[in-house]
Structure 1
Amino acid sequence: MTGDFRLDLLGPLRGWSGDDRLDLGPVRQQAFLAVLALRPNQIVPADELVELVWNDAPPGSGTRIVPTYVYRLRRLLPDGVLVSSRDGYTLRLAPDALDLTRFEGLISAAYATNDLDEAAANLSEALALFKGEPLSGLPGHYVGVERHRLTERRLKVLAERIDLDLERGRYGDLVPELIALVEADRLREQFAGQLMLAYWRSGRISEALDTYTRTRQELIDQLGVEPGPALRAIHERILQNDEPVARPAVRDELPYDGAAFVGRDDVLKQVVDALRTAGPAVVAIDGMAGVGKTALAVRAARQLAEVYPDGRLFIDLHGYTPGNEPVSALQALDRLLRTLSVPADRIPADLEERAALWRSELAGRRILVVLDNAPDSAAVRPLLAGGPRCGVLVTSRRQLTDLDATARLALDVLEPEDARELLAEIVGPDRAGDPAAAAEVVSRCGHLPLAIRVAGSRLRHRPSWTIEHLSKRLDAEDRRLAELSTDSGGVSPAFALSYEHLPADQQRLFRLLGAMTGQDIEMYAAAALADVEVVEAEDLLEQLVDANLLLQLRPGRFQFHDLLRQYARMLEPDPEAVRRLLDYYLYATAEASEAIFGSRLHPLSEPAPVQLPDFASVADGLAWIDAEGANVLATIRFAEASGALEHAWRTGLAVASCFFQRGRVYELDEALEPALRAAVLDTNAEAESRVLLSMGSLGRYRFGAEASLPMLQEARAKLPEDADLTLRARLLASIGYSMAKLRPDDHALGVLDDALKASRQAGDRSIAARVLAYVGVAYSDRLEFAQALTAYQESLAQGDPGVQPEVLNGIGECLLELDRVDEAITALRTARDLGIERGADYSLIYSYAFLGTAYARKRQWTEAIDVGRQAVELAQESDSTQSQQNAYVRLAETLLANGDLARARPHFARAMELALDDGQESMVVRAAGGLARTSPAA
């Protein structure tokens, strides 16, 4: 970056290198440079440059013209000023290289000082930087807009400097300047009003009134309108000749903010810093009831006394106060104006005129106005100060998103440590007792300051209580809100006020959300609860977020604060809404499962009674399970406890395979154990059989074939004679597979053959594909790889995408054993890609393990060891003993073939240990052979 390079934008574009002026070339080239200068030290993409520079006449060559202009400018500018990157172009400028930057810096300095003379000098120096119309003569719509913006900015700053001069009593000096400004633009009422004040305060009342008459006539003739309220207010003051000799000091109206104020250091600094910056500053603080917005606002206002020495005003707008209607803007202005000692007979009845008088009274003063408990933005807008040296601090339970605030702050509950400190401040360090018990108390208060204050007050006024006793009283959820409420207020009344201010449709959704089964909710589940379209549900959820009655964790996902959830549960329940929510989680889980596996594993009546997300791909199904898995488990527990038994066991079945697919094996028990209990309570033998089948089949991968067989045999015993043929085929297939993994003899193959016949009788190609895959595994374990390959190929021909990765792995293994290595690699790479597409897939472990063997056969040792290690790492994460055995033994065989006996031996030993526990005879033999070959004696 070149330190002596400067650009002037506040007039004709000029470039300087030291004292030498640069020739910046033709006007279009200057416009190109101006666009970059208006965005200094930012990357501007080429297509955006074309749009901004050539908007009025786009070149036919498009972005291809940009490098030409960049090349020309680089020849003119110092080295390192104009740089390019893959994303676009940047004009690198030192902090003071632009007159525009210096202009804004001087304005900020003027706003920051309390010295009127210094502030006026800074504004005058800033205005002197203008050397004519900004960017004059340059083409392009964007440059034209910026030219207009900078011109208006100059006039605003000029008006502010004139206000300072009026405040400093320089009336006579201002008159000639203001006459010229009024003549230049007879419709700009602000300069006319300032000229009237300068005339009046110079004793030239008739000229002041004449200025009003001429300005009014000009407005009527040209625009057909009367002067605005601000100009009319000045006219009225001159007619009544009530200019005060000296403005009385305004008292500090801030309320007592309490002794116990802890934490919040970061947010307090944010508020204070925002109100110290160049004004007018408007800071909005929002948050749920009881979170401490008022305490923060008052504490911040007290720290700003030196910034706003003319007063700190406070008004409670009663947006959410029991027994009080919200204060209207008209009422608030009346009180605020009286606080500024404005006589009652001078306060207009009209809202617009009253607001104009308020802004006029604040002109030149340095006052902070705290507007507490605002109901909405409409109540606040007329109260905003127009003066550049005034600040406004607004608190509300609603997010005032449509308020033109310079800074916003969403106040959250206290951090745990700060919450404990607040409790100790209230009850005293001696009563705070055991830190663990104090942590329990503030946790059950949801770390909400209001709840902690109520709980602390109860403890402080009951000498016989201990903090452990208070903790136990707060433990019962159905009593917690009662414990945290009093006759005069507390948590429940505060929440009730927020709820009562909601429109009817938002109230209804808030009530229904109390039936949430999980910790959070997304818009489809909310739509099911409320029986509305998804778009409407999302809008209502966002509106509850705006009202700070709901938290938004991330786009599309919402959560209650703990105490608000308990409050919602106290409201009118709706059994039908709960049923719709249970339906949603059941059918959505089933649809996600079908997207993942390519077929419906468990039957459901169609169509879904609620609207579901679009599961267009495997990734969609996996993403939904990742996001909603915890809520599905909570729904299963709720369904079991509430007697919705069919929902419990069906949802448990639907989600179990999905968890298995994602490697979330410990959550299988959380899904299937309550599902089994529900099936038993439902006295549904077929349902019991289904759940036991799922537990046995998925448990085989975790605990081995031997452990799975008793559960599968129990499932077979529970199976009714008239049971669904598909279910019978699945059950026989799983039993036959477990038997084959223990001993791949003719008996096991006979059971698999029975399963194949049942699947064909049922007409279910998906089950047939699975059975044929199991047959392939059995023949592989018998080392009959030609027969295994035939079975795998027949399985693949069934066209079931759910088994494709596993079957391709089996094909790859057989081809390896038949010494068709290149074909094996092709099949295994395809299986690997499918496994990656599906995320955490057990088949992926085998793909890597078999690829390791294949690469080793081709003596590609680096690749072989790399994929072998990946297989072991995935297997260790999977908690599947079968996949771990396969991964360990194949990596060991690769290391052994590469001559690394020392590293191969522990992998063989681990495979042996797992195989012995699992009863896998073929693997025991294989691992034992490896150990023999790596023995030091060998």
Structure 2
Amino acid sequence: MTEDLRLDLLGPLRGWSGDRRLELGPLRQQAFLAVLALRPNQVVPADELVELVWNDAPPSSGTRIVPTYAYRLRQLLPKDVLVSSRDGYSLRIAPDALDLTRFEQLISAAHATDDLDEAAANLSEALALFKGEPLGGLPGHYVGVERHRLTERRLKVLAERIDLDLERGRYGDLVPELIALVEADRLREQFAGQLMLAYWRSGRSSEALDTYTRTRAELVEQLGVEPGPALRAIHERILRNDEPVARPVLRDELPYDGAAFVGRDDVLTQVVAALRTPGPAVVAIDGMAGVGKTALAVRAARQLADVYPDGRLFIDLHGYTPGNEPVSALQALDRLLRTLSVPADRIPADLEERAALWRSELAGRRILVVLDNAPDSAAVRPLLAGSPRCGVLVTSRRQLTGLDATARLALDVLRPEDAQELLAEIVGPDRAGDTAAAARVVSQCGRLPLAIRVAGSRLRHRPSWTIEHLSKRLAAEDRRLAELSTDSGGVSPAFALSYEHLPSDQQRLFRLLGAMTGQDVDMYAAAALADVDAVAAEDLLEQLVDANLVLQLRPGRFQFHDLLRQYARTLDPEPEAVRRLLDYYLYATSAASTAIFSSQLQPLPEPAPVRLPEFTSASDGLEWIDTEGANVLATIQFAESSGASEHAWRLGLAVAACFFQRGRVYEMDEALELALRAAPDASVEARVLLSIGSLGRYRRGAEASLRTLQDARDRLPENADLALRARLLASIGYSLAKLHPDDEALGVLDEALKVARQAGEVGIASRVLAYLGVTYGDRGEFTRALSAYQDSLELGDPAVRGEVLNGIGECLLELDRVDDAVGALTAARDLGVERGADYSLIYTYAFLGTAYARQRQWSEAIDVGRRSLELALESDSKQSQQNAYLRLAETLLAKGDPTQARPHFARALELALDEGPESMVLRAAGGLERTAAAA
């Protein structure tokens, strides 16, 4: 980071490098720099820069204009200040390089001190940094918005400094300054009120009242409105000559916060620190029912007595209290004003006037107000303090997004160790001594403090129970909520109150989410459950997040807390919702598979009965499988156990190849085992066994694969469709060929090709030709192998294109056509990377390693060889590991490094002897002999 660059934004844009003034170029170029300076040390994407800098006149070249402006600025600025990356552009500057940063630092220093003179001096120094209109003359909507924001910020700080001068008794000195401010903006009531106070306290009451009369006339004439409550209150005080008297210290109204408060040290520190920050500080804590928001707020408030010595007020707004209507803002203000000893006859009936009086009464005091259990932002806004020395701490089950809070905290459940400590605090360390059982209990309580307190209370009042017994009672999910609820409260009643406060459409989706088969959902799965548009479903999900009834752990993914999920399952579901969800996962998985393999492996009735995401490329399909794979597997488990057998076997078949493609072989195995259990007849059993044998060949070996495939053939009905028969024959022939590439294997593959052509299945025929290419290659007949591969490529089936290009590359290598081989393998690599096809890339990189080695490009050869081996080890495929070890060893030996080559040859031989073609055994053994000779 360069230390000698300085930029001034609080006036015309100016820049310095050390003592040298920088010429920053044309206005649009300056606007480009200003946008980056307003976001120092942040990466701003190019498209966002175009929007922010050229919003008023978008360039026809789009983002292509950005590098040009960046280049010009780099010529002007010190070295390494303007940094570009793949994600965008960033201005790397020191923390004190901006006058704007110094401005905010001085304001913070003013708020941090109790010395009025020091505070006023800091604010005066901050205001002196303004050298005119911020960013004056620069074009662009964004810069204009920032100019307006900074101008308003200056006026707010100026008003705050004048308030301090009024408190310090500098009335006469203020009058000339305030006359100029009021004359400059006759509609700004705050300055008019301050001028009235300065006149009045200087003994010039008539001029104070005249100021009010002129300001009122201006407001009525220009805007057609009367003065606001604050200005009217000052007017009334002057008329009554009502100077404030010394105010007494208020009592502490905080409730008892209990003895068992454990953990939360980090969040407690955050809340306390936020309320110690110069104000006015407004801290909002939200979280689900029972998570401990009130306990945290009260504990934090108790640690702040030194910061708020004039009192700590507490009011329960009853946003979610059984039998109580929420306290209105009007009612809350009445209670708060009475607490400040304001006589009843002085409390206005109007909400706006009452709120103005509340802010006026807080002026000059240092009071913390705790607003507990707020129903929403609207109930809180009128209760906020305006004084910079007061703080407000709000708790709510909803995210108070409409509240202008200075700090927000979403309270989560307890950490496991803290949850166990809370349980031990409640039941005593002796009864919580079985740490394994205690860990199970707090896990069964979802680490929710309310649930732990209920469970602990039940154990404490039952001396005959052990913590192990309590854990067993909580183990039954259908009884757990009952165990964690009591007649007077507990988990279910707390959840019920949150649920009952929802609008009907949110209630319905909450109920339906109880039918989730996986751990989380996106907007499309939720749309299927509720039979609504995906955008509408996402809006409802976001609203449930705001209500802290659904968690959003990352953008677009929503899930329940465990206990909330069980509560949702107790509510009345809609029978068709589960069917829609099963349809969604089946059709979405099929669509993702089609995008990945560029062909539909398992046709389904059209159109899809549910709304699906768009899959425009293989990467879309792979991304969906990566995200939804666990949910798909859970859905198969649910479908198989609940009798939805058709969904189970179809979904298992649809996702198996996708799991294989991503190397998720154990999930693939489970999906296919579930599909086989759900198979309704022999034909479907044969289909599933075909997938088990084909996809499992690369990990379990050809012999085990052949047994499974022969079992599938035995179950295949005589009247089975030709396409299925061709696929089965092809896979059997390929497994035979991997064991012995003899005439028997070729005969079976020839028959498979004949049946595929008879069925008109181009894709199957293309795959059989690829299998023939492999078989001829294993026989050492590379010219015939190349011909088979090329015939397969001409059929144009995209599902096997990557494997075929690999085969062509291998044949060309064996025929010593190295440059042609590199071309084919490069195309295979690009295709594999695009599709995320980890398995095919194992062979692509291995063959490329051999090709690069023959071109004596050693660095590239070793890099791709090692990448092939990494992928092979991740895949758990013995065949691919043999090939990767062998080819990397051959590259190392050819480079002249027999010491590193030897262990790779040895491992390749070990794998080939266990199960591999004779050609692989001979190559690995020969390699070991050559390394010994070279050594």
TM-score normalised by the chain length of structure 2? 0.90
1:774 match: 771
| 1:734 pairs with 2:731 | yes
- Equivalence for 1:785: 782
Per the alignment, residue 290 of structure 1 pairs with 290
The CA deviation at 1:907 is 3.4
- Contact 1:423–1:456 (8 Å) recurs in 2: yes
Corresponding residue SS for 1:641: helix
| Residue 534 (structure 2) pairs with residue 534 (structure 1) | yes
Q: What residue number does 1:77 align with?
A: none
Residue 116 to residue 668, structure 1, CA distance change in 2 (3 Å): same
Distance in 1, matches of 2:282 and 2:124, equals: 25
Check whether the contact 1:697–1:708 (CA below 8 A) recurs between aligned residues.
Answer: yes
2:316 maps to 1:319: no
Specify the alignment match of 1:513 in structure 2.
Answer: 513
Bigger Cα displacement from structure 2, 195-204 vs 594-603: 195-204
Are the aligned partners of 1:527 and 1:537 in contact in 2 as well (CA < 8 Å)?
A: yes
For structure 1, which segment, 520-529 or 20-29, has the greater mean C-alpha deviation from structure 2 after superposition? 20-29
* Stretch moving more, 161-170 or 379-388: 161-170
In structure 2, C-alpha distance between the alignment counterparts of 1:372 and 1:144, rounded to whole Å: 39
| Further displaced range: 144-153 or 339-348 | 144-153
What's 2:823 paired with?
A: 826
1:305 equivalent to 2:283? Answer no
1:730 maps to amino acid: R
**Are 1:911 and 2:912 matched, yes or no?**
no
Q: CA deviation at 1:13?
A: 8.4
**In 2, are the aligned partners of 1:297 and 1:370 still within 8 Å (CA)?**
yes
Q: Is the 8 A contact 1:12 1:131 kept in 2?
A: no
The one-letter amino acid of 2:642's match is S
Cα distance, 1:117 vs structure 2: 4.3
1:342–1:360 CA distance, 2 compared to 1 (3 A): same
> C-alpha deviations, 1:405-446, integer Å up to 9, x for none?
122111111111222222222222222212222221111111
Query: 2:799 — aligned with what?
Result: 802
CA displacement at 1:162 relative to structure 2 = 3.5
Q: Does 1:248 align with 2:245?
A: no
Pairs within 5 Å for 1:609-648 = 609-648=609-648
* Deviation for aligned residue 1:107: 2.8
Instruction: Tell me how large the CA RMSD over aligned residues is.
Output: 3.7
| Fraction of identical pairs, as percent | 80
Amino acid at match of 2:284: A
State the Cα deviation string for residues 55-110 of structure 1 (Å, max 9, x = none).
99999998899799969987xxxxx5995555779695783874x55544333222
Q: 2:872 corresponds to which residue? A: 875
Give, in whole Å, the separation in 1 of the partners of 2:828 and 2:43: 44
Corresponding letter in the other structure for 2:917: Q
Mean CA deviation greater in 603-612 or 187-196: 187-196
Provide the residue aligned with 1:498 in structure 2: 498
Q: Does 1:890 align with 2:887?
A: yes
Alpha-carbon deviations, 1:223-261, whole Å to 9, x = none?
322111222223334445554532232222111122222
Query: 1:30 touches 1:138 (CA, 8 Å); kept in 2?
Result: no
Q: Secondary structure at the match of 2:507?
A: helix
What are the Cα deviations for residues 572-618 of structure 1, in whole angstroms up to 9, with x where unaligned?
12221101111111111111111111222223222221111111111
Change (3 A) 1:750 1:420: same
CA distance in 2, matches of 1:692, 1:136: 71
The answer (yes or no) to whether the contact 1:82–1:92 under 8 Å persists in 2 is: no
Q: How does 1:373-392 map to 2 (within 5 A)?
A: 373-392=373-392
Equivalence map 1:393-432=2 (5 Å): 393-432=393-432
- Specify whether residues 7 and 558 from structure 1 end up closer, same or farther in structure 2 by C-alpha distance, changes over 3 A only: closer
Provide the C-alpha distance between the structure 2 equivalents of 1:377 and 1:408, rounded to a whole number of angstroms: 13
Change in 2 beyond 3 A, CA 1:59/1:483: closer
Cα distance in 1 between the residues matched to 2:932 and 2:26: 84
Deviates more, 1:517-526 or 1:154-163: 154-163
CA 1:723–1:231 in 2, change beyond 3 Å: closer, same or farther?
same
Quick one: distance in 1 between partners of 2:130 and 2:724? 87
Distance 2:212 2:439 in 1: 68
Q: CA 1:4–1:860 in structure 2 vs 1: closer, same or farther (change >3 Å)?
A: closer
Q: CA deviation at 1:791?
A: 1.8
Q: Which residue of 1 aligns with 2:236?
A: 236
Q: 1:708 aligns with which of 705, 710, 725?
A: 705
Q: Do the aligned partners of residues 460 and 861 (structure 1) sit closer, same or farther apart at CA in structure 2, a change above 3 Å counting? A: same
Residues 332-343 of structure 1: matches in 2 within 5 Å? Answer: 332-343=332-343
Structure 1 residue 291: Cα displacement = 1.3
1:348 equivalent in structure 2 = 348
Matched, 1:111 2:111: yes
**1-structure distance, mates of 2:865, 2:13:** 65
Shift in alpha-carbon separation, 1:12–1:763, aligned structure 2, 3 A: closer
Cα 1:407/1:716, change in 2 over 3 Å: same
CA–CA distance in structure 2, aligned partners of residues 21 and 442 of structure 1:
64
CA distance in 1, matches of 2:933, 2:366: 89
| Structure 2 residue aligned with 1:95 | 96
Aligned residue number for residue 265 of structure 2: 265
Distance of aligned partners of 1:463 and 1:604 in 2 relative to their CA distance in 1, 3 Å threshold: same
**Counterpart contact for 2:320–2:326, Cα < 8 Å:** yes
1:335-365 deviation digits (Å, cap 9, x = unpaired):
1111111111111111111111111111222
Q: Contact 1:314/1:371 (CA < 8 Å) preserved in 2? A: yes
Identify if the C-alpha distance between structure 1 residues 744 and 192 changes in structure 2 by more than 3 Å, giving closer, same or farther: closer
Structure 1: give runs of 5+ residues left out of the alignment.
Answer: 75-79
Counterpart of 2:480 in structure 1 is 480
Question: Alignment partner of 1:249: what SS?
Answer: coil
The aligned length equals 927
Give the match's secondary structure for 1:721: coil
CA distance in 2, matches of 1:136, 1:765: 67
> CA separation in 2, counterparts of 1:81 and 1:850?
45
CA drift at 1:30: 13
CA distance in 1, matches of 2:74, 2:924: 69
C-alpha separation in 1, matches of 2:237 and 2:819:
97
Matches within 5 A, 1:733-752: 733-752=730-749
Does the 8 A contact of 2:527 with 2:534 survive in 1? yes
Name the aligned partner's letter for residue 547 of structure 2: A
Matched to 1:463, the amino acid is P
Q: Which moved more, 1:227-236 or 1:2-11?
A: 2-11
Cα 1:376–1:778 shift into 2, 3 Å = same
Structure 1 CA distance, aligned partners of 2:910 and 2:181? 94
Aligned partner of 1:687 in structure 2 is: 684
Corresponding position: 1:278 with 2:275: no
Distance 2:425 2:709 in 1: 61
Q: Which residue of 1 aligns with 2:213?
A: 213
Change (3 A) 1:251 1:754: same
Q: What's the secondary structure of 1:827's corresponding residue?
A: helix
Using the TM superposition, give the Cα deviation of residue 334 of structure 1 relative to its aligned residue in structure 2, in angstroms.
Answer: 0.9
| Partner Cα distance (1:58, 1:798) in 2 | 47
Q: 1:182 to 1:790 in 2, by over 3 A?
A: closer
Kept in 1: contact 2:315–2:370 (CA 8 A): yes
Q: Any idea what SS the aligned residue of 1:553 has? A: strand
Residue in 2 that maps onto 1:579: 579
Q: 2:59 and 2:210 mapped to 1: Cα distance?
A: 54
Cα distance in 1 for partners of 2:23, 2:801 equals 66
Q: Distance in 1 between matches of 2:12 and 2:834?
A: 59
Q: Give the letter aligned to residue 626 of structure 2.
A: D
Contact 2:110 2:122 in 1 (8 A): yes
Q: Secondary structure at the match of 1:408?
A: strand
Distance 2:22 2:720 in 1: 91
Cα 1:815–1:383 shift into 2, 3 Å: same
Q: Distance in 1 between matches of 2:313 and 2:892?
A: 79
In structure 2, how many angstroms separate the alpha carbons of the residues matched to 1:344 and 1:299? Answer: 32
TM-score with structure 1 setting the length: 0.90
- Checking the alignment, whether the CA contact within 8 Å between 2:710 and 2:732 is kept in structure 1 is yes
Q: Could you tell me how far apart the structure 1 residues matched to 2:880 and 2:690 are?
A: 21
Q: Is this contact kept in 1: 2:32–2:53, CA < 8 A?
A: no
Contact 2:257 2:298 in 1 (8 A): yes
> Cα gap change, 1:729/1:340 in structure 2, threshold over 3 Å: closer, same or farther?
same
2:723 is the alignment partner of 1:722: no
2:551 paired residue number? 551
